[in-house]
Amino acid sequence: MVTFDEFKNMEIVIAEILKVKEHPNADKLYILDVSIGDEEKKVIAGIKTNYSKEELKGKKVVLLNNLEPANIRGEESNGMILAAQDSDSGKISVLTIDKPVSNGSRVS
């Protein structure tokens, strides 16, 4: 179980995907440049088999922003795009918003 205080320490924000690039060392990964308001970050996401580059560019997604940086196949990732995986089909669906909010808005 996670305590409420532990949950409050997670910085979950809305990010807009600005650029989508192929990962040079992985078939199922994209390199995403995202905006979280006054800052841009690079995030590696394993969503290539479920989304085209065109589908992702401009999409507002939910980002775990204060995750420790990780090196994923030679590229540094500075956050994690949150997604759901369907228990029947295995397909991935990134979490998005249903009304306009500013980049960097905190999810609570």
Q: Could you give all domains of the chain from N- to C-terminal order, each with its CATH number?
A: 11-94 (2.40.50.140)
What is the reported pTM?
0.94
Looking from the CA of 5 toward its CB, the CA atoms found within 13 Å total 0
| 3-state class percentages of the chain: helix first, strand second, coil last, to nearest 5 | 10, 40, 50
Residue-level pLDDT, tens digit, the chain, 108 residues: 999 999 999 999 999 999 999 999 999 999 999 999 999 999 999 999 999 999 999 999 999 999 999 999 999 999 999 999 999 999 999 999 999 999 999 998
Give Dmax over CA atoms of the chain in angstroms: 39
> 26, 7 in Cβ contact below 8 A?
no
Residue with tokens 């997670």: 10
| Sequence-separated (6 or more) residues with CB below 8 Å from residue 11 | 64, 65, 66, 106
> 94, 51 in Cβ contact below 8 A?
yes
**Nearest Cα to 76, choosing from 43, 39, 106, 52?**
43
